[in-house]
Amino acid sequence: MRIFLEYLKVGLWMLPIILPALWLLPRLSKRYAAKVSYVIWLVLAVRLLIPWNLTLPQETAPIHVAISEEQANEWVQAKFNPVQAPPKAEGAAAAAQKQTQPQAEPLQPLQIGFALWLAGVLFFALRTAVSVFRMKRLLRRWEKEPSAEAKAFFAETAGKTQPRLMVCPVLESPMAVGLFRTTVYLPHEHYTAQELEMIFRHELIHWRRKDLWYKLLLLAARSIHWCNPLVWRMAKRAERDLEISCDSMAVQGRDAAYRKAYGLMILQEAERSIEKQAALTTCFTDGKRALQERLVEIMNQSKRKKGMALVSVMLVLTLTCGCLISCGKDEKASESTQDTAVSQGTLTAEQRKLTERWAEALSDRDGKIRYKEMGKAAKAQFIAEQKALGGEDWNYVIGGSSPWVDSYTIEERENAAMITYTMQDSQPAYYTMKELLKFGEENGKTVVAGYLTSNLYWEDGKVHPTVSRTESDLDEGIWDFLSQSVVGFISQSGWDVYELEAFNFNRISVTRTPLANGREQVTVDFGLNMHYRNPFRDPDEAGYIRRAKEAGQSVYAVYYKEYYEEKEGNTYFRFTCEVQADAQKINEDTCYPETFHLYNDDFDPHRITFHKKNPAWDGWYEETPTDGWFCTVTPAKDANTVTVARKIRIEDATGRTNNGYFDLNLDYTTTLPVAEDAAFTVGGAGEAPAMLNAKEWLSRLQSGKVGQSVTLFFGKDANGNTVITEGREGFWSKKAV
């Protein structure tokens, strides 16, 4: 995201230069040589591609802050005990005191802007790549060797080193293509000797000046600054001036007759050329208005200035424009702090930049940036902290999704810096957090030798609880509880089309927040790693496998095998519940099941709620009028036995599962013989067990395959007897049996 901001600033800083240049340079063409504009546009394009600001050297000055040395020392000695922060407006303070369950962090405008910018850059880069690919494919298909006479004439015109020469009849005008191995293409060979000399001379000038690389720079600048219309205008004008300067060099030192013939040659080629010029090519022709300017330049035999002074002025302005703006901002910031503050020490320029990168890294949640700036001791501290959060499989992600960094200030001390972050969440509530950095030198490089991080504080200075680490026994209780009460639901909701071979939790964070009702809310962010297979239906029922089989494709066997192979999937959840304020362990005695909420991986507010505990299952679910008892009957390998599994169907009111409901296995599975007297007891909700004999199973299994299930649903007939009301082949099939 930082590079997006840097390019945005560069684009804004260059506007005061690009706009006057677009207006001024065409009007100076009669006084200055055509190459002046060519060079100036090159300088501007290169500057647009440099994403950082060029700063002038300046004397390091102290930054003044409104905090006393005594306050700072007390804060450090207390290991970041709460520091009273000045309250904001009453409305904001009231919002800060209001405690609600965590909500998803909204996308910030900067994040949206970065995503749009990156999408635009990728789009224009892809469009250019496709254009180049199509052109090369066209040329490879239709190109052919020129005649020996044309080759000899080309070699004579080019000299010792020369690009390739080819003929491509599908082209409508001569052009040069290829950054590394340039090829000059002719659409045909029906040119006079003078016309060939003019064409070769023009394209060889492009080749010697590396104009294709020049055009690549313009394309890159236009892609990166795609939302800046002035950059587009600049690139278009630069491409036109590139051709004009090439024409000027091609007719340099020639008489009026040659110039006239050269101009007529361009007009003839333009008349027969109607196709749009491809990316990264030099084309002999151009648009109508551009042709008019080129012809004026070709016929201009007056002596003009070289324009070195103008180029030098433009170069200086380009290099210093952003620096002047940056310096102006720094002076204003310095003036605003000097009025109400006292000096607390100074940092070197390198230490100051390091501190800024450290603070920005928290905004981006990128610990890798910080790690690169640390000394050995600080790196060891960082790794230990990350392992405490994520175990041995730790990563570089720092901070949390909420609250996020809104702004920060830096207080300079002697060889140290104190960063104060202002943070907010989506309620909104406001917080402050402090970090103290101590600098050192390792291998001649300035590094962060050590650092201390405070807790997060409300505006009134009270510790914000969501950043307090939970005790180990509470941690263990959480994961124990999730394993017993949530994983059963997860394994069935959306994943019951697969067979789970194994699963494990990937811990992210466990936090506690005091609530107004005297309880505490526990929020658990976790990932679930699942190993699963697809055994619950005939693989030939899978669309892509069936189509391969019907088409007689050899890949059918590969698909069939892959269908049974173990796969791995990862998904992320947030689980919240309310517990007793003094709870030291999360279990059924300390939590309130009516407050259970499970969010999907994007923390969708349309959460799944668990209300009532079913004694027959260790999990929690919401019982609805559409719940129904059923069983699945599966033929075993032994033709005389069947496997029966007892289940209950629960409707998912959110509709977010793939079929609108999920099935819970009641952990009652048995294998029974198929015989006249075989029977299986199916207990309905609040009713006496019903007996089913093997005849009813066999009537529904006559066409069944080994391993294929038949699902039986039970209800009451007109006489109140329990009967089979519906049967379905397979797990998701709607076909009645």
**Amino acid 123: pLDDT:** 92
Q: What's the mean per-residue pLDDT of the chain?
A: 69
Listed residue (512, 674, 672) closest to 582, CA to CA = 512
pLDDT tens for 671-723 read 666 554 444 444 444 444 444 555 555 554 444 444 555 566 555 566 765 55
Listed residue (516, 500, 506) closest to 390, CA to CA = 506
Window from 199-203, 295-299, 338-342, 569-573 with minimum mean pLDDT: 338-342
pLDDT above 90 covers a percentage of the chain that reads 4
- Please check the confidence at residue 217 and state whether its pLDDT lies above 70: yes
Full strand arrangement of the beta sheet holding 722-729: 661-673, 641-651, 628-635, 710-716, 722-729
Per the CB < 8 A criterion, the answer to whether 302 and 252 are in contact is no
**Amino acid 633: pLDDT:** 66
**Amino acid 391: pLDDT:** 73
**Amino acid 256: pLDDT:** 84
The beta strands (E) that lie in 580-721 are given as 591-599, 608-610, 612-613, 620-621, 628-635, 641-651, 661-673, 679-682, 690-693, 710-716
d(CA 224, CA 451): 37
Q: Tell me the residue length of the chain.
A: 737
Per the CB < 8 A criterion, the answer to whether 185 and 171 are in contact is yes
> Where do runs of H (alpha helix) occur along 643-685?
none
What confidence tier does 447 reach under pLDDT thresholds 50, 70, 90?
very high
- The secondary structure of residue 156, as a DSSP letter, is H
- Please check the confidence at residue 430 and state whether its pLDDT lies above 60: yes
* Stretch 635-659: mean pLDDT: 54
DSSP for 308-361, please give it. Answer: HHHHHHHHHHHHHHHHHHHHHHHHHHHHHHHTT-EE-----HHHHHHHHHHHHH
* Stretch 573-592: mean pLDDT: 75
Window from 20-24, 42-46, 301-305, 686-690 with minimum mean pLDDT: 686-690
Question: What's the token pair of residue 102?
Answer: 């965590």
**Amino acid 736: pLDDT:** 27
Per the CB < 8 A criterion, the answer to whether 373 and 395 are in contact is no
Task: Report the 10 Å Cβ neighbour count for 299.
Answer: 13
CA angle 614, 600, 607 (to 5 degrees): 60
Question: What's the token pair of residue 594?
Answer: 């009516």
**Amino acid 467: pLDDT:** 31
The more confident residue out of 204 and 276 is: 204
d(CA 365, CA 342): 32
The more confident residue out of 652 and 339 is: 652
d(CA 12, CA 340): 32
d(CA 725, CA 722): 9
Per the CB < 8 A criterion, the answer to whether 34 and 295 are in contact is no
Structural element, H or E, at residue 440: strand 430-442
The more confident residue out of 470 and 520 is: 520
Could you give the count of Cα atoms lying within 13 Å of 526 in the half-sphere of its Cβ? 24
- Please check the confidence at residue 336 and state whether its pLDDT lies above 50: no
CA angle 72, 77, 82 (to 5 degrees): 70
Question: What's the token pair of residue 579?
Answer: 């517990």
d(CA 88, CA 430): 9
Phi, psi values for residue 436, rounded to 5°? -115, 120
The more confident residue out of 26 and 91 is: 26
Residue partners of 304: CB distance under 8 A and separation at least 6? 30, 31, 32, 33
What confidence tier does 370 reach under pLDDT thresholds 50, 70, 90?
very high
* Stretch 448-452: mean pLDDT: 86
What confidence tier does 374 reach under pLDDT thresholds 50, 70, 90?
very high
pLDDT tens for 603-634 read 444 444 443 333 333 333 333 333 455 566 66
**Amino acid 358: pLDDT:** 92
**Amino acid 307: pLDDT:** 74
User: How far does the chain reach from its first CA to its final CA, in angstroms?
Assistant: 58
**Amino acid 659: pLDDT:** 38
pLDDT tens for 82-137 read 333 333 333 333 333 333 333 444 456 777 888 888 899 999 889 888 888 888 88
What confidence tier does 357 reach under pLDDT thresholds 50, 70, 90?
very high
- The secondary structure of residue 561, as a DSSP letter, is H
* Stretch 503-507: mean pLDDT: 62
**Amino acid 448: pLDDT:** 92
* Stretch 410-437: mean pLDDT: 80
Buried b (16+ CB within 10 A) or exposed e, 123-139: ebeeebeebbeebeeeb
d(CA 525, CA 511): 9
- Please check the confidence at residue 12 and state whether its pLDDT lies above 60: yes
pLDDT tens for 44-87 read 888 888 876 544 444 433 333 333 444 444 434 443 333 333 33
Residue with tokens 């466990």: 510
Listed residue (309, 272, 269, 301) closest to 285, CA to CA = 269
- Please check the confidence at residue 492 and state whether its pLDDT lies above 50: no
Per the CB < 8 A criterion, the answer to whether 362 and 398 are in contact is yes
CA dist 2 to 121, 123, 220, 361, 670, Å? 15, 20, 19, 10, 61
Per the CB < 8 A criterion, the answer to whether 688 and 697 are in contact is no
Measured in whole angstroms, the distance separating CA 470 from the mean position of its chain's CA atoms is 31
Fill in the amino acid letter for 734: K
d(CA 477, CA 71): 40
Is the Cα dihedral 527, 528, 534, 537 positive or negative?
Answer: negative
The more confident residue out of 107 and 355 is: 355
Listed residue (210, 190, 192) closest to 261, CA to CA = 192
* Stretch 327-352: mean pLDDT: 53
The more confident residue out of 537 and 624 is: 537
What confidence tier does 259 reach under pLDDT thresholds 50, 70, 90?
confident
Per the CB < 8 A criterion, the answer to whether 498 and 534 are in contact is yes
Among 83-92, 306-315, 360-369, 633-642, name the most confident range.
360-369
Question: What's the token pair of residue 125?
Answer: 């880069």
Buried b (16+ CB within 10 A) or exposed e, 595-622: bbbbbbeebeeebbebeebbeebebbbb
* Stretch 565-592: mean pLDDT: 74
Buried b (16+ CB within 10 A) or exposed e, 163-181: bbbbbbeebbbbbbbbeee
- The secondary structure of residue 621, as a DSSP letter, is E
**Amino acid 72: pLDDT:** 43
Q: What is the CA radius of gyration of the chain?
A: 37
- Please check the confidence at residue 262 and state whether its pLDDT lies above 80: yes
